Amino acid sequence: MAGGAGVSGEIQVQSTVEATHLPLFYNQLTALDKAVHEGFRFEPVKRPASLAQQNVVPLVAEEFASAGAIFPILFSNGDRPVPMAVMGLNVGENCFVDAGTGTFSAQHYVPAYIRRYPWILARKPDGDGQLALCFDASSGVVRAAGRGGYALFMDGKPSPALSKILAFCHAFELAAARTEKLIDHLLEHRLLKDCAINVHSELIAMPLSYQGFRIVDGARLLDLPAAHLQAMARDGSLQWIHDHLNSLDLVEAIYRKSANQSGSGTGRRIRRSVTIANVA
């Protein structure tokens, strides 16, 4: 990528995954088993250990309005694009998360993908294809002994706390399926275009260009036949596209946060221009 760093689209975010094909943030998937974990307890959800070094986080379409008020929403490259909240322009940089604590530095919207961690519905490699509730054992959330936290099972059944986790994970799956319908529309009508974030500043001799992502082509969207637009309006896709496009105004704010954290945005007022341009 030009400039040596940029928005990364190389992330694996399918919510139903084989244990050998781990999604972002997950390191050691373990299926929850009542026979094994009957007396176990778990702590409240912890943020992924690597969150402070992750500059993009997957989104489901239904949170575009909330997430898009804080983060620019871009789509990854690849055959099956993934919508993602941009939390930093440079790979390894998160402008919203405290590097020391791994938590958000202010009261911001937290994407559902993060809130779901360390739990996930996944398919066991040796199973019958059914989804099983799994957790990232490397998170240290589930433990065999000790006090505090919440019981996993009560009287042989999922505890109320575990039932809430199951409900959230199932809701995430449904939202992910609706997001896939959005992606179907975008691919079918070729509405995505490759773009670059270009930064011109008096502090840098050569403009920076961050690449590796796509956005919706607004002009092509307007040219779609009315029948296609109506279909997209009925399933919510049209509103989600508008939420995505509106969020792009926040790209310069992300650059400012990054510059301030690095110390290059302090002191006198800096003249700069941050724009999104097509990639030929």
Find out whether 140 and 149 touch, Cβ atoms under 8 Å. Answer: no
Neighbours of 237 (CB within 10 A): 22
Residues 6+ apart with CB under 8 A from 128: none
Angle at 134 between CA 132 and CA 139, to 5 degrees: 175
C-alpha torsion sign, points 4, 192, 246, 110:
negative
Q: Which residue, chain included where needed, has tokens 């490699």?
A: 125
Note the pLDDT of residue 9.
Answer: 37
User: How high is the pLDDT of residue 238?
Assistant: 97
Q: Tokens 């179907």 appear where?
A: 184
Which residues, 6 or more positions from 74, have their beta carbon under 8 angstroms from its beta carbon? 7, 56, 83, 84, 86, 213, 214, 215
The domain segmentation of the chain, as residue ranges, is 2-278
Q: Which residue has the tokens 């270009």?
A: 198
- Per DSSP, helices labelled H in 189-225 are 218-222
DSSP state of 27: S
pLDDT, mean over the chain: 84
For residue 278, which of 206, 220, 232, 227 has the smallest C-alpha distance? 220
Q: Give the residue ranges of the chain where pLDDT is below 70.
A: 1-21, 124-128, 201-207, 261-272, 280
**pLDDT confidence of residue 262:** 62
- Would you state the pLDDT for residue 20? 46
Whether pTM > 0.95 for this model: the answer is: no
Instruction: Please report, for residues 106, 115, 270, 275, the alpha-carbon distance to residue 266 in angstroms, rounded to integers and kept in the order given.
Output: 20, 33, 8, 21
**Residue 102: what pLDDT?**
84
Q: What pLDDT does 103 receive?
A: 87
